Structure 1
Amino acid sequence: MLWQLAIVTIIVNAVAAWSPTNSYAPGNVSCADDITLVREASGLSANETAWLKKRDAYTKDALKTFLDRATQNFTNTSFVDTLWSTGQIPKLGVGCSGGGYRAMLSGAGMLSAMDNRTVGANDHGLGGLLQSATYLAGLSGGNWLVGSLAWNNWTSVQDVIDNRGKDNELWDISNSLLNPGGVNILSSASRWDHISDAVEAKDDAGFNTSLTDVWGRALSYEFFPTLYRGGEAYTWSTLRDADVFKNAEMPFPISVADGRYPGTEIIDLNSTLFEFNPFEMGSWDPSLNAFTDVMYLGTNVSNGTPVAQGKCVAGFDNAGFIMGTSSTLFNQFLLQLNTTSLSSFIKGIVGDFLKDLSSDYDDIAIYEPNPFKDTPYVASNYSQSIVESENLFLVDGGEDGENIPLVPMLQEERDLDVIFALDNSADTDEYWPAGLSLIATYERQFGPQGEGLAFPYVPDVNTFVNKGLNTKPTFFGCDASNLTSLARTPPLIVYMPNNRQSYNSNTSTFKMSYSSNQRMHMFQNGFEAITRNNMTDDSGFAGCVACAIMRRKQESLNITLPQECTQCFKDYCWDGKIETSGAGVSTVGTYSGSISFQTDAASATGSSSSTASSSSKQNAAAQMYPTYSTGWIIGTITVLGSVLGLM
């Protein structure tokens, strides 16, 4: 069938990048005597820069097609041609939040609405935006979505739908991950036996293992169903050799994780944020400020040079392990064996492995040896603990409260004009989003790890809920002239939260099985959530998205947008007002300094974007606009760990 042929294609094209042992265990490989595996995070890698030139050729045409279609009923469409004639093409990114299978399934529906490969997306959705995007980032459950699409030859959600009920169906999660065979106990036992063998092989090869190895291996059977034992030898760097990525026919995928050392209790905005992309893993944060070649993770190095000259390790970057690293919060699910209905036989298989693990390592992925050992790029005022450690410890990318992976796309070097933030978080007691991820990212720019970051002003959680900003798409940072107190002009954020349209998609983060019918409902509601109910609530919404996309370039070029954009900004831009009560509709106030978006006709003409970068301006902004306590955010995450009984 077509699905299987696609997988065969990626296997043939990428076989050289698979684990050299043809198993889950990493193995030794030869590498150049003078190879350097680590670089300072002073800019984009040469590989990413070269890849972007190819991608630009695709996004340029795809975005022009989308904008022409979305603005076809505007009174004036010449501004699109003006942008293209001047070479000022807007650059897009998409971020998919965490939130377990809820985030994966609802997020899949959202992405399908942006994908011109989806039936009806061009007529009733935002088809073509995904083809126009340069970057696609995922975190935890959102990374399951991004990773499983990208590493399955950039398949589409439409393909997943079309192949429902067939052998090796992607995302067949009708049975719990703990009991994948359902009533077939022998099938479940065999799966866990293979998982145990794989992890033991890695351990026997001399590499430290953790619960994340078990978790990643279990996930892989659902994400790579056509590959032998769920892609036991399938590596993250394999994607480099797939034609669909080499030719830049897909967005640049990024996965996010946080640093946390065993014994420490909490992750906050001062934690080091790591990204994985097909070429590298590392961090832009001043606490590391370095990247390493992801293909050679597991190599014993000092300052990026292999300790054994000409000898490297490959295969450590197992695709499932990296996807598991971004979602280690769900390791807690495996620890609930005694509360499940598993047979004692299967509990024994998993339990035998888990019993030797220290609780300090429950949510930690161990990267040993540390790929950044002895690197000199850490800022002088930071601890050297990361680069002095023998091991690197990573955890779920959402544990710092930034559940939408925005930071990698906020890097100035990536030069994005607009980011679509798909939020399937469970911020409220009813498991709906309430803007906490945006609040946390806003805060990060004023902390020590936020050097060089810029993110638009956002309101507090009460305002998000009271004004309904968490129930429909909302634009943040619409007017660059109101952002001059920030380090620089940030991308405009199009916030697209999960909300009920045709289905109650606010399922528990720890719900670990969905029937085929439930999965379809989640897809459909996700599609509807970001398209204003298939454009029935606002037939002009696609045009408003087009206005948001063009806004930054329009401002910098000082050209006039059509009058329809003025109304769009009135309807969808946050107006800078806050509601001060903690519940219900309350008195409306404005921030000191007034950042209310100007909605008169004059505001549709551009003004030059400020590029101020002084710390004094950051400090001024921090004083002018309220900051929010991360304690409440982290407290929410902690509470989630106690609700496993809700699955």
Structure 2
Amino acid sequence: MLWLVPLFLLALRAVQAWSPTDSYAPGNVSCADDISLVREASGLSPNETAWLEKRDAYTKQALREFLDGATANFSNSSLVDSLWSADKIPRVAMAFSGGGYRAMLSGAGMISAFDNRTNGSTEHGLGGLLQGATYLAGLSGGNWLVGSLAWNNWTSVQHVIDTRGKDDELWDISNSIVNPGGINILSSASRWDQISDAVEAKQDAGFNTSLADVWGRALAYNFFPTLSKGGDGYTWSTLRDADVFKNGEMPFPISVADGRYPGTQIVDLNSTLFEFNPFEMGSWDPSLNAFTDVKYLGTNARNGTPVTKGQCVAGFDNTGFVIGTSSTLFNQFLLQLNTTSVSSFLKGIIGDFLKDLSEDYDDIAIYNPNPFRETEFVESNYTKGIVNSENLFLVDGGEDGENIPFVPLIQKERDVDVIFALDNSADTDEYWPAGLSLISTYERQFGAQGKDIAFPYVPDFDTFINEGLNQKPVFFGCDASNTTGLSYTPPLIVYMPNNRQSYNSNTSTFKMSYSSSQRMKMFQNGFEAVTRNNLTDDSSFRGCVACAVLRRKQESQNMTLPQECAKCFQDYCWNGKISNKTAKVSTIENYSGSISFITDSASADAASSTAAASSSGTSTSKKNAAASLPSSNSLKWYVAFASLLGMAIGLM
């Protein structure tokens, strides 16, 4: 049980960052009389900048070790020496897609392949690259992975494997999340009673709640099993006080959610995309371009100044609630209802119920008071709907079609050179990924929200399928000289899709329980999917990944790549070819509200023009909806129905 000591010490060190009520309910705290809670997103926050200096010291050494090992058999590895001598160290980021427990479990296998704490990862995988990464972004199920590892004192997947079968095992989802006791009805009832009491305590403290609070509380029990009641007082900002993060010993975690006004069901590429990091919550998008201190969410403020001088609110940034915000899957269930194996009778009942919830705004995570209310430096008419609203409404980060959280990582200020995109999306009707997230982010840069972002050229859905680009790792944006038509040189994208190696890992997004054996098989297949089957399909793949990591810095410094990289790029870089045949598989119905797929087959440049044209025609920003909220006197009934729904989904 010695492994529990770090978690216990973490709790002791971070006690000041927990909810002041020691419960799910936020509470009042003192803050500086002149505190300013909102800043313009004109660059990185001072806190992030200071943290990067600490992290860079770790990544410099870790990346050097990884690259030295990966290029050991190269005929010439002097490039690494040259870059390190010039202090031009590549900056690495990783992005984990949404996709429910499929994304979490398959993604866990993937991240373990990059982690030198995983047995065999150095010999058979990409071990050490995680230690050299600066940023980790997660969305929905991918955020369950990133969030639960980071907020459990940066634990490892190997540790999860080693502690299987224990009462406090991380990710023990043998039973459905909404039927946690299995056949023990009393145990399930007790869990849901605790959840209901916690959410009602937040209501009683004067804060609006929704089904997202219930969802987040339910998730937390499986993500923080060592904490009482799933860490009902554990806050997102707690991480900034944990030594493992404070000292820069782990990557910078980012969670992504979409803005959505109640009364609307479509979220498209014009929606405002929000990020949560240990220091801040906000958006880089021109529709807001502002951030607020995540620790003091819930504070009644105007233009970033608390209405009551010297008094703020803390505890609103509950870790489970933030993780739940990025994964309001009940709304996703509505959008993809026809893809599930629920009976037509249950579909009708559930569909009608969820439509009612959408009309009543209960599928939206409510951030009230709105931290950006009356922010004066936000001047765009496009934005006034946010700053004029008393409430901020956030939903699942994948609802705009960008199911891989690229946007926070392609901000020019973060200076990322390469992004490893771990895709466990269900783009096809068989629940396999097929590049739709890349297409969406590529298109975003040509729309109203893409003013200051750049993303490499990518092909259309048919090409992803017909050319097998969703069957193995593929590099996009290999040559910076071919991206001169974009706002700036974007990071190189190493796309790593979920694919079958040793197990059919294309499980339903709404499969809500996995046995221990199934979890292990998902881990294993994820590891194999990103390592070319433990490097057996291509023994040089580790070296090719090293070439991708070095590429942007090599180009910017006009240095010479090892000759082995030429073959790597020939094998793994997308060659710009566009298929002129319709793929034999189809996308999931209602995957996104308004994606316009690239269809021109002439060339990558033609694809760019088509995407630009289609993006400029995407639906306009949402009209402001009335900010009236539903009454909260039926919470326990919602919880009861959620239990019924979960049991139904758990049978799939």
TM-score (norm 1): 0.89
Name the SS of the counterpart of 1:560 in structure 2: coil
1:622 counterpart residue number = 609
2:418 counterpart residue number = 418
Shift of the alpha carbon at 1:629? 11
Q: Judge conservation of contact 1:215–1:334 (CA < 8 Å) in 2.
A: no
1:224 counterpart residue number = 224
1:180 counterpart residue number = 180
Q: Judge conservation of contact 1:109–1:522 (CA < 8 Å) in 2.
A: yes
- Distance in 1 (CA, whole Å) between partners of 2:257 and 2:382 is 20
- Distance in 2 (CA, whole Å) between partners of 1:320 and 1:2 is 26
Shift of the alpha carbon at 1:8? 0.4
Shift of the alpha carbon at 1:7? 1.3
Shift of the alpha carbon at 1:141? 0.1
Gap change, CA 1:511 and 1:543, over 3 Å in 2: same
2:72 counterpart residue number = 72
- Distance in 2 (CA, whole Å) between partners of 1:12 and 1:163 is 23
Q: Judge conservation of contact 1:333–1:644 (CA < 8 Å) in 2.
A: no
Q: Judge conservation of contact 1:211–1:354 (CA < 8 Å) in 2.
A: no
1:469 counterpart residue number = 469
2:433 counterpart residue number = 433
1:126 counterpart residue number = 126
- Distance in 2 (CA, whole Å) between partners of 1:590 and 1:63 is 39
Shift of the alpha carbon at 1:593? 4.8
1:347 counterpart residue number = none
Gap change, CA 1:630 and 1:143, over 3 Å in 2: farther
- What are the Cα deviations for residues 117-148 of structure 1, in whole angstroms up to 9, with x where unaligned? 00000000000111110000000000000000
1:274 aligned onto 2:261 = no
Name the SS of the counterpart of 2:439 in structure 1: helix
- Distance in 2 (CA, whole Å) between partners of 1:233 and 1:593 is 51
- Distance in 2 (CA, whole Å) between partners of 1:354 and 1:556 is 51
Q: Judge conservation of contact 2:443–2:611 (CA < 8 Å) in 1.
A: no
Shift of the alpha carbon at 1:331? 5.9
1:283 counterpart residue number = 283
- Distance in 1 (CA, whole Å) between partners of 2:342 and 2:584 is 39
The one-letter amino acid paired with 1:622 is S
Shift of the alpha carbon at 1:356? 10
The one-letter amino acid paired with 2:52 is L
Name the SS of the counterpart of 1:578 in structure 2: coil
1:112 aligned onto 2:101 = no
Unaligned stretches of 5+ residues in structure 2: 344-352, 586-598, 620-644
2:603 counterpart residue number = 591
Shift of the alpha carbon at 1:626? 7.4
2:294 counterpart residue number = 294
- Distance in 1 (CA, whole Å) between partners of 2:451 and 2:515 is 45
- What are the Cα deviations for residues 514-550 of structure 1, in whole angstroms up to 9, with x where unaligned? 0000000000000000000000000000000000111
Matches for 1:124-523 after TM superposition, within 5 Å: 124-330=124-330, 359-523=359-523
Name the SS of the counterpart of 1:108 in structure 2: helix
Q: Judge conservation of contact 1:368–1:392 (CA < 8 Å) in 2.
A: yes
Q: Once superposed, what is the RMSD of the aligned Cα atoms?
A: 2.6
Name the SS of the counterpart of 2:416 in structure 1: coil
1:546 counterpart residue number = 546
- Distance in 1 (CA, whole Å) between partners of 2:605 and 2:357 is 53
Name the SS of the counterpart of 1:129 in structure 2: coil
1:49 aligned onto 2:61 = no
Shift of the alpha carbon at 1:583? 2.4
Q: Judge conservation of contact 1:401–1:436 (CA < 8 Å) in 2.
A: yes
2:641 counterpart residue number = none
Q: Judge conservation of contact 1:175–1:513 (CA < 8 Å) in 2.
A: yes
Shift of the alpha carbon at 1:3? 3.2
- Distance in 1 (CA, whole Å) between partners of 2:538 and 2:219 is 39
Shift of the alpha carbon at 1:5? 1.5
Q: Judge conservation of contact 1:440–1:630 (CA < 8 Å) in 2.
A: no
Gap change, CA 1:356 and 1:207, over 3 Å in 2: farther
2:629 counterpart residue number = none
- Distance in 2 (CA, whole Å) between partners of 1:519 and 1:557 is 44
Shift of the alpha carbon at 1:41? 0.4
Shift of the alpha carbon at 1:200? 0.4
Shift of the alpha carbon at 1:329? 2.2
Q: Judge conservation of contact 2:600–2:610 (CA < 8 Å) in 1.
A: no
- Distance in 2 (CA, whole Å) between partners of 1:403 and 1:355 is 23
Matches for 1:57-68 after TM superposition, within 5 Å: 57-68=57-68
The one-letter amino acid paired with 2:280 is E
Shift of the alpha carbon at 1:6? 2.2
- Distance in 2 (CA, whole Å) between partners of 1:631 and 1:145 is 32
The one-letter amino acid paired with 1:525 is N
Q: Judge conservation of contact 2:457–2:604 (CA < 8 Å) in 1.
A: no
1:96 counterpart residue number = 96
1:568 counterpart residue number = 568
Q: Judge conservation of contact 1:592–1:624 (CA < 8 Å) in 2.
A: no
The one-letter amino acid paired with 1:32 is A
Shift of the alpha carbon at 1:360? 3.4
Shift of the alpha carbon at 1:376? 2.3
The one-letter amino acid paired with 2:385 is S
The one-letter amino acid paired with 2:29 is V
- Distance in 2 (CA, whole Å) between partners of 1:318 and 1:431 is 31
2:628 counterpart residue number = none
1:21 counterpart residue number = 21
Gap change, CA 1:334 and 1:42, over 3 Å in 2: same
Gap change, CA 1:188 and 1:592, over 3 Å in 2: closer
- Distance in 2 (CA, whole Å) between partners of 1:292 and 1:318 is 16
- Distance in 2 (CA, whole Å) between partners of 1:582 and 1:192 is 48
Q: Judge conservation of contact 1:212–1:331 (CA < 8 Å) in 2.
A: no
Shift of the alpha carbon at 1:380? 2.5
Q: Judge conservation of contact 2:366–2:392 (CA < 8 Å) in 1.
A: yes
1:39 counterpart residue number = 39
Q: Judge conservation of contact 1:97–1:103 (CA < 8 Å) in 2.
A: yes
Gap change, CA 1:493 and 1:355, over 3 Å in 2: closer
- Distance in 1 (CA, whole Å) between partners of 2:551 and 2:416 is 12
Gap change, CA 1:242 and 1:558, over 3 Å in 2: same
Q: Judge conservation of contact 1:325–1:396 (CA < 8 Å) in 2.
A: yes
- Distance in 1 (CA, whole Å) between partners of 2:109 and 2:614 is 33
Q: Judge conservation of contact 1:472–1:497 (CA < 8 Å) in 2.
A: yes
Q: Judge conservation of contact 1:288–1:379 (CA < 8 Å) in 2.
A: no
Identity, % of aligned positions: 76
Shift of the alpha carbon at 1:590? 4.1
Name the SS of the counterpart of 1:514 in structure 2: coil
- Distance in 1 (CA, whole Å) between partners of 2:482 and 2:342 is 53
Gap change, CA 1:253 and 1:287, over 3 Å in 2: same
How many aligned residue pairs are there? Answer: 600
Gap change, CA 1:393 and 1:589, over 3 Å in 2: closer
Q: Judge conservation of contact 1:510–1:646 (CA < 8 Å) in 2.
A: no
Shift of the alpha carbon at 1:378? 2.8
- What are the Cα deviations for residues 572-613 of structure 1, in whole angstroms up to 9, with x where unaligned? 00000111111259x995417589xxxxxxxxxxxxxxxxxx
Unaligned stretches of 5+ residues in structure 1: 342-352, 596-620, 633-640
- What are the Cα deviations for residues 7-28 of structure 1, in whole angstroms up to 9, with x where unaligned? 1021011011000000000000
TM-score (norm 2): 0.88
Gap change, CA 1:277 and 1:593, over 3 Å in 2: closer
Shift of the alpha carbon at 1:488? 0.5
Gap change, CA 1:485 and 1:181, over 3 Å in 2: same
The one-letter amino acid paired with 2:576 is G
Name the SS of the counterpart of 2:126 in structure 1: coil
